[in-house]
Chain A
Amino acid sequence: QVQLVQSGAEVKKPGASVKVSCKASGYTFTDYYIHWVRQAPGQGLEWMGRITPNNGGTNYAQNFQGRVTMTRDTSISTAYMELRRLTSDDTAVYYCARDNYADYWFDPWGQGTLVTVSS
């Protein structure tokens, strides 16, 4: 079955960087976008951007331009999201989600990775 499995929880200090992974299985990795979405505690969903696995192309939300980098390793069907210059406002659960190149919805989602930023 189609599955996205994310890396484990992280605790980081302000100013540091975090890199979250998302391993895909059950489908051809290069046939679907991978999106990243975050959710701060008790808050709503926020779209961060997406990567096109077949060519590495990216599209970032304006709020994260210059601070986020999305990459992929097609040999192990894994996408990565790195966020730099962390502040306490970046404390959130980070999700990856799949999207067919011809579609405009997210399904399925990874289980989420909690990133806590604290001094």
Chain B
Amino acid sequence: QSALTQPASVSGSPGQSITISCTGTSSDVGGYKYVSWYQQHPGKAPKLMIYDVSNRPSGVSNRFSGSKSGNTASLTISGLQAEDEADYYCSSYTSISTYVFGTGTKVTVL
């Protein structure tokens, strides 16, 4: 199972919006609504930000939103803040009852 494809890095100025893509296949991202997104700060464990493509857990800012079209899922961060600087990973359930993560995206706040 190959890793889902994410851009290595995305940057934006405070207040701007950025979007991170996550491209898979019809056997994972495209076949299920089970895409989730995780934020990871250096030296810390990942934190769930979005589940089931577009749902936010309680306590996660509404500046984070998710969507999906075909084999590509996306995470949008609006009103970018300094604290959003971190690595972001997508994850998808797969047709062989396993999970696959994305390659990861480093978000830089300029």
Contacts and interface: CB of A to CB of B under 8 A. Distances in A.
B98 interface: yes
A106 B3 contact: no
A106 B91 contact: yes
A9 interface: no
B36 A111 contact: no
A46 interface: yes
Nearest to B32: A104
Given A62-B1, A103-B51, A109-B45, A46 B101 contact: yes
Interface string B17-58: 000000000000000101010100000011110011000010
A44 B100 contact: no
Given A105-B91, A106-B36, A44 B102 contact: yes
Contacts of A44: 3, 89, 101-104
Interface residues of B, number: 24
B110 to A, nearest CB: 23
B101 A104 contact: no
Contact of A110 (B3, B32, B36, B45): B45
A47 to B, nearest CB: 4
Interface in A32-77: 35, 37, 44-47, 49, 59, 61-62
Contacts of B47: 108-109
A111 B40 CA distance: 12
Contacts of A89: none
Contact of A107 (B1, B48, B52): B48
Contacts of B45: 95, 108-112
A107 B104 contact: no
Contacts of A112: 45
Interface in B59-104: 89, 91, 93, 97-104
A45 B98 contact: no
Q: Which 10 A-B pairs have the closest CB atoms?
A: A104-B34, A105-B36, A105-B51, A107-B48, A109-B45, A45-B101, A44-B104, A47-B99, A104-B93, A45-B89
